[in-house]
Each structure stands twice: as structure tokens, then as C-alpha cells.
A and B are shown apart, each in its own frame.
Chain A
């Protein structure tokens, strides 16, 4: 158990809908990262937040948005959903502001299925 929690574990929804994925980092960690893992794209970095502020942006689509709240939990919003958004979404956390030397600790993921 990494100490990173994600809810829900599974989500089945329809195209055009909106979903919110939630992540709580390890106690004391200030950075949260979001990743998307799909069969065709592999593991893709979406976005990182550090202490409430956006720190780095990856391959995040315009339809997706995220934020980190004062209690350091983070939410990833996806809307409007498309079939291709079906994937496993991981959250990870790290102790500092990020960077190539920081170890990232991953949550168990949220599996999203868009029908």
C-alpha cells in the first residue's frame, strides 16, 4: 500500500457525460500527478500540482481539467467524455515540488469505461 488513495475504483459512463476522479496523496506529500494508461498510448503524464498550484503539464486534453485543494487532495475532471477516454487513470504523489529525482508513489488507479 503506497498511501495514495483514489476513488472510485471503477466508473462506467456514457459519451458526453462528465466524471470526477479523486486522489488523496500520501501524508506529507505536496505534489500530485495524474497519468492516463491505455492499451494504445501506454502511460501518459497528464498534469502535476504542487501545493495547490499547477506545476507541469503533459498530454492533458482541453476537455480535461484538474485542481488541487488546500487539503492537498486533487480532482481530475473529464468532460465531455469520448469513447477514447476509456483508460486507467493513476494518481501519484511525491514529497516535494517534483523533478526528475523525486520518487513518485502511485495509487491503485480508477478504471474508466466510456460506452
Chain B
């Protein structure tokens, strides 16, 4: 059974940093692109970033470029999102998701972790 379990969310002040983690199981992690998608309270879904299988190629939504870094550790079956320079508008539930077809199609999602940026 495919499982994705996020952790690391919490309350942080504007300008602060946070590192999210996602541990995967039930599939060969190193075979898949992995993604972070976020959802602000009461709002829709927004793709944040992806990382390809070997961790070298990455892409980000414009609003987080230069502030967020996606990475992975295939030996640990883990995906990460380092978030620096956090803003109030980054407040959201952050979901880790598996890319089904190396094309930004998301077939499995974690339960999400809430990041709240507030003073």
C-alpha cells in the first residue's frame, strides 16, 4: 500500500524558516517524480514544486522561487521542502504527492501538514 506521511508543519513568524518532510512507503521511491502541493485555508490547490527521480532537476512556482528548496533522499525514501523567508501568504496545508507519469499527474497524496505564518 502506497503511503505518504508529511511532518514538520507548525507556527512560524514572518521571515522565519521551516523544513517539511515526507516519508514514502509501499513503492519504489526512486522511480518517481515527487511534488509538493499546498492549499491555503478554505482555498483551492496550488502546485509548489517538483523534483525528478535523481534529485537534480527541480521546478518551482514563481511565488516561492529563491525562498523554497525541494530535495529528496532516495536512500531514506524521503522528500523535503526547506522553506525560508516565509510570508503570511504561505500559510497552507502542504501535501506531498507522487507523480504518476512524470508529467505532474498526482496519483497518491499524503494527509498534509499545516504551516501557519503569523506574528
A and B co-occur in one complex: no
**What residues make up the interface of B, taking CB atoms closer than 8 Å to A?**
none
